[in-house]
Structure 1
Amino acid sequence: MLEACDITLGYRRGESVLRGISLQLAAGEWLGLSGASGAGKSTLGQVLAGHLAPRRGSLRLDGAALPRRGLHPVQWLPQVPELAVNPRWRIDRVLNEAWSPSAAQRRRFGIGDAWLERYPHELSGGELQRVVVLRGLAPGVRYLIADEISSMLDAITQAALWQALREEAEARNLGVLVIGHDAALLQRLCQRRVRLERGQLLASS
């Protein structure tokens, strides 16, 4: 179980971006998180993945504090994959940064062998997103924060990406927090949904 308890965070003095957020995500669960632009969805995702430290509150994994070193068991998958890779690295090095996916795993995500010798700018956004998602599935990862990872993709690429991710998540019993604006997508993917409004978390219908 991944638990966020009373998470509060603000970038400047004054009103907090997140105010007293408490959230639970079980292993194998798909939880949808929606909210208006600027509501703090990505901020919460980065807190859960250890990219941002909250002003107040705590994160726990199966009742224990999350590790501060080594591969983080919660991985944040960003909306813009170009921001998550080193532009000077070839795709083979990017993909193998945390682990070495097999050829079968690469094929599941539609990653062609010819891509491995290219640089990030030589792939489309959808192609690079598949690389970033597969890189985030390293052994030891138990939860994924999928932050609008398909919002910029066409319908066919979007469906293929979610199908590959679901297969991998189900095989490994990964918990997935799906952040997005598409209510139909969240309803289709997730067993449960919540919404961020004015820095607070509300149940969603």
Structure 2
Amino acid sequence: MLKAHQLSFQFSPGVPLLQAASLTLSAGQWVGISGDSGAGKSTLGKLLAGYLAPQAGSVTLDGAALPKSGVQPVQWLPQSPELAVNPRWRVAKILREAWTPSNAQCQAFGLQEKWLSRLPQSLSGGELQRVCVLRALAPEVRFLVADEISTMLDPITQVELWQALKQEAAQRQLGVLVISHDSALLERLCPQRFHLSGGQLTPW
């Protein structure tokens, strides 16, 4: 179980993004987070994945702190995949940074073999996002924070990406937190949903 307990965080003094926000994500569960731009959704995602340290409260995995080394069991997937990869690495090396997926897994996420020898900037945004999602699915991973990962993709690519991710999550009982402005998408994917506003999470 991934648990955020009474999280508080601010970048500027006197301007809190999160105020005693709490959230629990269990294995196999899909939870949605909506909120206005600047409400702190991405900050919450980064706290859950260990990219940021809470200024108050805690993030725990099965009651313990997140590990500080190795492949992290909670992976944060950003909206802009080009910011998450080394532009000088070929796609094959980017994937192997975390693990080596099987041919079947590559096919499920629509990765083409010819991409492996390319640099990331030669791929489209949708193609590179598929690479980044697959890279985040190493065997050690138990939870994903999907932060607006399909916002910039065309409708067909969106459907294909979410279908592949839902299948992989179901097989491995991955917990998935979906952050999105698209309320219709959250309603389709996530039985449990929260709205982040004023630093607080409210069910909707």
- Structure 1: which 4+ aligned runs deviate by more than 2 Å? none
- Secondary structure of 2:15 counterpart: coil
Residue matched to 1:76: 76
* d(CA) in 2 for partners of 1:19, 1:71: 29
Question: How far did residue 69 of structure 1 move?
Answer: 1.6
Residue matched to 1:116: 116
CA deviation map 1:87-113 (0-9, x unaligned): 000000011110000111111000000
* d(CA) in 1 for partners of 2:3, 2:144: 13
* d(CA) in 1 for partners of 2:38, 2:15: 13
AA matched with 1:190: C
Residue matched to 1:162: 162
Residue matched to 1:185: 185
AA matched with 1:106: C
The answer as to 2:194 corresponding to 1:194 is yes
AA matched with 1:113: E
* d(CA) in 2 for partners of 1:80, 1:41: 15
Q: Where does the alignment leave 5 or more consecutive residues of structure 1 unmatched?
A: none
Figure out how many residues of one structure are paired with residues of the other and give that number: 204
Question: How far did residue 13 of structure 1 move?
Answer: 1.2
Question: How far did residue 151 of structure 1 move?
Answer: 0.6
The TM-score normalised by the length of structure 1 is 0.98
Residue matched to 2:26: 26
CA deviation map 1:34-73 (0-9, x unaligned): 0000000000000000000110111111122221221111
Q: Where does the alignment leave 5 or more consecutive residues of structure 2 unmatched?
A: none
* d(CA) in 2 for partners of 1:183, 1:13: 31
Matches within 5 A, 1:1-205: 1-204=1-204
* d(CA) in 2 for partners of 1:97, 1:77: 15
Structural RMSD (CA)? 0.7
AA matched with 2:201: L
* d(CA) in 1 for partners of 2:166, 2:157: 14
CA deviation map 1:114-140 (0-9, x unaligned): 000000010000000000000000011
Percent identity of the aligned residues?
Answer: 62
AA matched with 1:23: L
